[in-house]
Structure 1
Amino acid sequence: MHASPPTRNVLIVDDDPAIRQFFGALLSRTSTVREASDADEALEIIKHWTPDVVLLDIVMPGMDGYEACQRLKACLGADAPQVIMVSGRSEEAGMAKAFEMGADDYLVKPVDHVEFCSRVDLHFRLRESRTATVELQRQVDSNHQKLKQILVERAEQIVAIQDVAVFTLAKVAESRDNDTGQHIVRLREYAQRLAIELKQDEPYTLVINEAFLADLYRSSPLHDIGKVGIPDAILLKPGRLTPSEFETMKRHAVIGANILHEAVMQTKGGGFLAMAATIAQFHHERWDGQGYPAGLIGEEIPLPARIVSVADVYDALTSERPYKKAWTPAEAKDLIQKGAGTQFDPAVVAAFERCFDDFLRLQERYADQEAVVTGAMTFMEFDLPETT
């Protein structure tokens, strides 16, 4: 069964009835023809019927063909017909003006009927091609939007899987010296809140952007991943470490960084893993240069590590261990404040002070189900006063 040819609509606009009749006779066998005696009538017709080709006289009573052409094109926009201007004048200025007003072709009367029919047929085919192109573009745009949505959904799924994998990996490392604690959950939330608060300070407004916050949120749980390389005898020692044992414990910063740098090398750009490696390596550095493993001073210490350092110490101090009770939030706050400019970045400590009430809320929300945290005491960087 053959498909029927597409309907071709033509509008003849001319104030001379004889011309309309002549053109209509030539086209009516292959097209649906409608006629208008002036531009106003033509503009009224296209409100309810869209022609594929318009044969438009130039010299008519009232609105001339030039203005009519411009209005036809404007009214129908992307669905505008092919407009063939028909005139008894052949001067170049008239032709140039016709094309300037949007005409697609220009015929001079009297016209040869063979050439006339061929030219009209050409414009029907141009119109059909343009319509097909517009429809194809619409389909491409639609498919592009669907594909974008699929890619967004797939990307979200990949990120979710990565987050689960990262969190699981962090919990595996933590489980070696932490029974049921929520340390990495609290640390992630503390670090995120600190960064958001620090963003209010002018030097950090542009540095701490959405990408920074997203990477920090995903990477901070991996800060102690290097503990997987520390012997159990040291990691699980129920008490303070000796100086020799502490030197071994300090290796976890470099071990963690090496693990994560290896992961970065397996990915293009590294993404949040690059920040995770930085945090793992430098979160035990001190502002005064007395930290480890590199002894960096002040702003030599990468910003993510300076943020995590405060969050990590606060959570460690306020967590109970077999050989010490948990410090009160006020006691931990006081120690961190005293460490500004020595152990900690003063700007991060100032941000900590401003959002301390949020720390208390987060601490309550993510409290350990079992309060006691096992594992060696590694905070030999400063002397811990006795707590009650």
Structure 2
Amino acid sequence: MEKLESKTSVLVVDDDDIALEMIEHYLTQEGFMVFTALDGREALALLEKHEIHIVITDWEMPVINGLELCRQIRQRFTEHYIYCILLTSRGRHEEIVEGMASGADDFMVKPFNPPELLARINAGIRLVGLETRDLVIFAMARLAESRDTETGEHLERVRQYSRCLARAMANMPQFADVIDGEFIRLIYQTSPLHDIGKVGIPDGVLLKPGKLTADEFEVMKKHTILGADTLDAALRKFPRARFLRMARDIAAAHHEKWDGSGYPYGLSGTDIPLSARIVAVADVYDALTTRRIYKDAYSTDYAETVILESSGKHFDPDIVKAFEACKQDFVQYVHQYSDAIEEPVDFVTGE
């Protein structure tokens, strides 16, 4: 996806050439970077290619209408929040409710008033600006990660793996009412905080090049509690913040195991928060396929074998099924976000 400059980017979607040109001209004069599309299919292609902040879309369009476009935006584009304004001649209350339920954030009835449109766009910019929160999340995670010089792009890979798994699970009937676009967006945002508690682990343990002693491992395990305590303190200040709740669950429970043999609490099965069960698979896969201070990188084939053989023991079997559905994406992320340290070795052959 192409990153844009500091200008706010707006995508205008309308099959009426005159309306499209008029809105584009007005918004360009107001200093926005404007993209245009004549239907929803063309709009989705632009969203795949560019980082769009605001979408203004007509309701009635051929191929993919405005309602379906809003739905697909919520389902498919989770890296950052896209503010959607439905622009239409419809104005009945039930139609407004239908439009908002599709994922639209705001609603304007044609013919549009330019100053009103600008005011609504600026309101959207303020909302999108809340994503500063996401930058803070990642900065906090980097603080913990900076303690360990061997992990490189670990955070980026784990968030990509976690989102990939969540997307695959969203297609499973048993998760249809649990994993939606918001869940996927939140796990992408908060999974980098899984090891935030490592800031409280002494260097002698965290950076030890060899195997930890039993006592040292007990110290290392405390990073889950330290991370949970840190995020619990934030939750007490902002109890309604769903992202903090998910981050806390992940930090506390991503080392729990499906069979109850994990830590820190020995939780098992579905008593382990779903977000933590997902990140557990992502974290282990990344630990296997990348070089760490205490080990070389193993091959993706070996990592796949470990994940599959750990189904029902370390990992939730449903999440392992999701892994099987997107394992090629995992391999792609290994190379895309590579630390470029050395070639991986096969654990069995040593080659």
TM-score interval, normalised by the smaller of the two chains: 0.5 to 0.7
8 Å CA contact retained: 1:325, 1:387:
no
* CA distance in 2 between partners of 1:142 and 1:325 (Å): 60
Answering whether residue 240 of structure 2 is matched by residue 265 of structure 1, we say no
* CA distance in 2 between partners of 1:258 and 1:385 (Å): 40
1:90 aligned partner: none
The 3 A distance-change label for structure 1 pair 200 and 352 is same
2:39 aligned partner: none
Letter matched to residue 298 of structure 1: G
The runs of 5 or more residues in structure 1 that have no matched partner are 1-137, 373-383
The 3 A distance-change label for structure 1 pair 349 and 238 is same
Answering whether residue 164 of structure 2 is matched by residue 193 of structure 1, we say yes
The runs of 5 or more residues in structure 2 that have no matched partner are 1-109
Letter matched to residue 308 of structure 2: Q
2:125 aligned partner: 153
Does the residue aligned with 1:279 lie in a helix, a strand or coil? helix
* CA distance in 2 between partners of 1:386 and 1:239 (Å): 22
2:281 aligned partner: 310
Q: Percent identity?
A: 44
Q: Report Cα offsets for 1:340-379 as digits up to 9, x if no partner.
A: 001000000111011111111111111114459xxxxxxx
Matches within 5 A, 1:83-162: 145-159=117-131, 161-162=132-133
TM-score (norm 2): 0.64
**Alignment coverage as a number of residue pairs:** 240
Matches within 5 A, 1:250-289: 250-267=221-238, 269-289=240-260
The 3 A distance-change label for structure 1 pair 386 and 264 is farther
* CA distance in 2 between partners of 1:180 and 1:371 (Å): 13
Does the residue aligned with 1:184 lie in a helix, a strand or coil? helix
Match of 1:351 among 322, 326, 329: 322
Letter matched to residue 335 of structure 2: E
TM-score (norm 1): 0.58
Q: Report Cα offsets for 1:178-210 as digits up to 9, x if no partner.
A: 346100000000000011011111000121101
Letter matched to residue 356 of structure 1: K
2:207 aligned partner: 236
Which structure has the larger Rg? 1
Q: Report the more deviating stretch, 357-366 or 186-195.
A: 357-366
Answering whether residue 262 of structure 2 is matched by residue 291 of structure 1, we say yes
Question: Displacement, 1:321?
Answer: 2.8
* CA distance in 2 between partners of 1:212 and 1:144 (Å): 32
Question: Displacement, 1:271?
Answer: 2.8
8 Å CA contact retained: 1:275, 1:304:
yes
The 3 A distance-change label for structure 1 pair 287 and 386 is farther
8 Å CA contact retained: 1:187, 1:220:
yes
Q: Report Cα offsets for 1:113-157 as digits up to 9, x if no partner.
A: xxxxxxxxxxxxxxxxxxxxxxxxx9x987665443222101212
* CA distance in 2 between partners of 1:323 and 1:262 (Å): 33
Runs of 4 or more above 4 Å deviation? 140-145, 384-388
Aligned residues: CA RMSD: 2.4
